[in-house]
């Protein structure tokens, strides 16, 4: 088995991907096998008893939103009795930030990879503060979710469908030239997204008040584009998955308890280990002790070669996650040592338009001891509170060591037969 050739093939499929945002629909209308009593969550599989505070909070919020529970107490009882199913978003072609809770009647972005014809999905970004993805579930959180589903999604979905979609590869390329790394900083991308959508929204035939409210939603949130960017990365990395013998990481995701990775040539298996606690900058009134372990599917951005991997392009992010512009540059340079290729579509101006380091090789991680870098939001460790800061983290080395062992066993088995 020629691992290098397999990795070249995986890299080719990743670089050839052309993710396009084509629309918005109810999750159970577009995600295969999505159903009402199924709660999707971020990261690798996990049971209720092992879930961290913010994931439990988001599950409670999701059960209430779906009408499966009337309040927190009922929701906890349903979860404890096993009356609801849990599954990773990743098992359903979906990625959602932080807790990642996505339920049947929530709206999701639809991304199509035009190179493969496959799809990926992500929920809509709620904005800042007390939000479901950070484990808050109060009535204002519910009201915002209902507005997203009932008002925002139909208008934005109609606008997207009529326009033929938004090329997310071009979007990310522009972001990299405008100081975004596509994970924790999506300010330029969200501005471009709002600007491109605005005239299409105006032609979607919505009521004037609703149109203005949707435009206000787009104007007031610098993270709007994170969710379609994540789904674009998911569609891209799914294309690179399943190449026999490839040691390229196609998924990194955290559920707030475990960090899990999947590898192109190692099937659907997750390699997991306890998630680290991010170190970062905290909002007034909060500190490092409030931080939950690493959580969210948003590491799909680093997996696809942006986020912390493209930090050289986003020096201003250090004001949000900590560090210096020099660290931003070093972060990207270090990631070239553990990746198999560079993405020429995402040229970093600060590095003379060198492509972002793309395709983490589990062998290089174990050999060099260099772990992938991750930029991330930080959730409060208790349910119901929300975001407390943003910072930097790395996955546990054990994930990569297990994966290398699994690949070695697979190679050995093939050699014997």
Residues engaged in binding a copy of itself (CB under 8 A): 174, 177-179, 187-188, 190-192, 194-196, 198-199, 201-203, 208, 211-213, 215-216, 218-219, 315-316, 318, 324-326, 349-353
Q: Which is nearer to a copy of itself, 191 or 266 (CB)?
A: 191
**Nearest alpha-carbon partner for 120 in 351, 300, 273:** 300
The whole-angstrom separation of Cα 336 and Cα 2 is 22
Q: CB of residue 175 vs a copy of itself: minimum separation in angstroms?
A: 10
Give the residue carrying structure tokens 């590095």.
351
Q: What are the distances in angstroms from CA 18 to CA 169, 172, 233, 237, 365?
A: 6, 11, 10, 11, 27
d(CA 271, CA 393): 18
Structure tokens at 296: 């969210």
Closest by Cα among 150, 165, 151, 159 to 119: 165
With respect to a copy of itself, which residue has the nearer C-beta, 82 or 199?
199
Compute and round to an integer the Cα radius of gyration of the chain. Answer: 20
* Shortest distance (Å) from residue 316 CB to a copy of itself: 4
For the CB of residue 192, give the shortest distance to a copy of itself in the complex, in Å: 5
- Nearest residue to 63 via CA among 81, 76, 50: 76
CB of 197 to a copy of itself, least distance (A): 9
Nearer to a copy of itself, 344 or 369 (CB): 344
Find the shortest distance in angstroms from Cβ 166 to a copy of itself: 12
Q: Which is nearer to a copy of itself, 105 or 174 (CB)?
A: 174
Given the complex with a copy of itself, which of 128 and 353 has the nearer CB atom? Answer: 353
Nearer to a copy of itself, 14 or 225 (CB): 225
Q: What's the closest the beta carbon of residue 361 comes to a copy of itself, in angstroms?
A: 28
- Least distance in angstroms from the C-beta of 201 to a copy of itself: 8
How many CB atoms lie under 10 A from the CB of residue 244?
14
Angle at 191 (CA atoms; ends 344, 372), nearest 5 degrees: 45
- What span, in angstroms and rounded, lies between the C-alpha atoms of 297 and 276? 15
- Take residue 284 and report the two structure tokens written for it: 């007034």
> Cβ closer to a copy of itself: 185 or 262?
185
Closest distance to a copy of itself from the beta carbon of 13 (Å):
28
Record the tokens describing residue 66, joined without a space. Answer: 């779906």
Query: Could you tell me which residues are beta bridge partners of residue 193?
Result: none
Least Å from the CB of residue 121 to a copy of itself? 25
Q: What angle do CA 320, 259, 393 make, to 5 degrees?
A: 25
Region for 179 from its dihedrals, namely left if φ exceeds 0, alpha if ψ lies in -120 to 50, beta otherwise: left
Residue among 201 and 379 whose Cβ is closer to a copy of itself:
201
Angstrom distances, CA of residue 229 to CA of 10, 24, 36, 191, 284: 20, 14, 26, 14, 29
Whichever of 154 and 325 has its CB closer to a copy of itself, that residue is 325
């Amino acid at each position: 088995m020629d691992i290098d050739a397999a990795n070249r093939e995986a890299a080719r499929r990743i670089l050839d991907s052309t993710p396009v945002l084509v629309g918005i629909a109810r999750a159970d209308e577009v995600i295969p096998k999505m159903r009402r009593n199924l709660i999707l969550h971020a990261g690798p599989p996990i049971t209720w008893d092992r879930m961290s505070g913010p994931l439990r909070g988001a599950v409670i919020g999701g059960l209430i939103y779906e009408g499966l529970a009337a309040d927190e107490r009922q929701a906890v009882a349903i979860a404890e009795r096993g009356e609801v199913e849990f599954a990773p978003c990743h098992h359903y072609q979906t990625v959602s930030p932080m807790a990642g809770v996505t339920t049947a009647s929530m709206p999701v972005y639809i991304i199509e990879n035009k190179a493969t014809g496959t799809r990926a999905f992500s929920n809509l970004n709620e904005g800042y503060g007390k939000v479901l993805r950070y484990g808050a579930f109060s009535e204002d959180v519910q009201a915002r979710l209902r507005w997203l589903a009932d008002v925002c999604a139909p208008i934005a979905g109609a606008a997207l469908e009529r326009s033929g979609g938004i090329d997310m590869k071009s979007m990310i390329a522009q972001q990299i030239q405008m100081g975004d790394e596509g994970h924790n900083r999506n300010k330029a991308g969200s501005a471009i997204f709002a600007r491109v959508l605005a005239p299409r929204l105006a032609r979607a035939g919505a009521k004037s008040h609703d149109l203005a409210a949707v435009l206000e939603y787009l104007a007031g949130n610098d993270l709007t584009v994170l969710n379609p960017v994540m789904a674009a990365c998911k569609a891209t990395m799914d294309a690179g998955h399943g190449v026999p013998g490839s040691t390229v990481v196609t998924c990194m995701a955290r559920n707030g308890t475990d960090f899990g990775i999947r590898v192109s040539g190692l099937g659907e298996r997750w390699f997991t280990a306890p998630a680290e606690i991010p170190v970062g900058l905290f909002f007034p009134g909060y500190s490092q002790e409030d931080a939950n372990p690493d959580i969210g599917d948003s590491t799909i951005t680093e997996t696809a070669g942006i986020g912390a991997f493209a930090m050289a392009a986003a020096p201003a992010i250090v004001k949000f996650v900590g560090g210096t512009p020099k660290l931003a540059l070093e972060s990207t340079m270090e990631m070239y040592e553990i990746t198999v290729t560079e993405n020429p579509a995402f040229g970093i101006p600060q590095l003379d338009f060198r492509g972002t380091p793309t395709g983490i090789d589990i062998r290089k991680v174990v050999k060099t001891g260099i772990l992938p870098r991750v930029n991330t939001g930080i959730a409060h460790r208790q349910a119901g509170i929300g975001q407390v800061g943003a910072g930097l983290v790395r996955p546990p080395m054990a994930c990569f060591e297990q994966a290398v062992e699994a690949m070695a066993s697979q190679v050995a088995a093939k050699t014997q037969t």
